[in-house]
């Protein structure tokens, strides 16, 4: 069974069990079980597949009306990269274009830097858990409010954006009288740009 089939089965099961006709799928972030550059490429491939499946289901004529993508992986990747800059894990100073497709794969070596000495089977990366770069002999580092362990994400940092993005995405379908595929797709992009990226939020967002 390939990944596309698994995603489609999850969508169909959600509809069959709870009757959901609008379904939101978050993209995958970096977890501590991503150990190699090849693993990281597979995560990027799955995220591309999530977007493709969501688009195909939405454009098909079925009982499921909309499958929307929440770009959670995009947000966490940007936060991790900014922390990597803070830790001096990046050797060049140019700004990273977060709008460029595949930028996170090109910087896999930054995402995957881990302590050389650790007792953990699944150690997190420095960018996930460190506020300062540890010495070569250290097994731990001072924490940062991104992730405590490389598997869970700090609610204090991500919770508000996560919740707001879900509300925004649902609004793309339920806050308009006659949504169309095109209008929903454009609205989904706006929601992800506002809440699932590090772009500054405009006051215009909060006006009626």
Cα distance between residue 184 and residue 182, in whole Å: 5
pLDDT mean across residues, the chain: 89
Instruction: Give the pTM.
Output: 0.89
| Number of residues that make up the chain | 208
- For residue range 111-158, what is the model confidence (pLDDT) as tens digits? 999 877 666 788 899 999 999 988 777 777 889 999 999 999 999 999
Query: Per residue in 77-121, pLDDT tens?
Result: 999 999 999 999 887 656 788 888 889 999 999 999 987 766 678
Q: Tell how many helices (H) and how many strands (E) occur in the chain.
A: 8, 2
Tell me what pLDDT residue 206 has.
Answer: 46
Look-up of token digits 């050797």: 91
pLDDT at 207: 46
Average pLDDT over residues 5-22: 94
Read off the pLDDT of residues 167-199 as tens digits, 9 standing for 90 and up. Answer: 999 999 999 989 999 999 999 999 999 999 997
């Amino acid at each position: 069974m390939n990944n596309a089939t698994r995603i489609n089965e999850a969508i169909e099961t959600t509809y069959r069990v709870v009757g959901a006709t609008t379904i939101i799928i978050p993209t995958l972030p970096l977890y501590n079980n991503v150990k190699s550059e090849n693993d990281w490429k597979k995560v990027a491939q799955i995220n591309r597949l999530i977007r493709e499946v969501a688009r195909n289901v939405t454009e098909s004529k079925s009982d499921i009306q909309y499958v929307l993508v929440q770009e959670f992986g995009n947000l966490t990747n940007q936060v991790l990269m900014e922390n990597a800059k803070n830790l001096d894990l990046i050797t060049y100073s140019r700004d990273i274009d977060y709008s460029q497709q595949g930028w996170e794969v090109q910087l896999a070596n930054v995402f995957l830097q881990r302590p050389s000495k650790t007792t953990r089977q699944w150690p997190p990366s420095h960018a996930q858990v460190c506020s300062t770069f540890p010495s070569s002999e250290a097994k731990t580092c001072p924490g940062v409010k991104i992730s405590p362990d490389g598997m869970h994400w700090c609610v204090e940092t991500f919770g508000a954006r996560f919740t707001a993005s879900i509300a925004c995405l649902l609004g793309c379908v339920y806050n308009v009288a006659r949504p169309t595929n095109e209008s929903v797709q454009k609205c989904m992009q706006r929601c992800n740009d506002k809440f699932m990226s590090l772009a500054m939020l405009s006051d215009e967002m909060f006006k009626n």
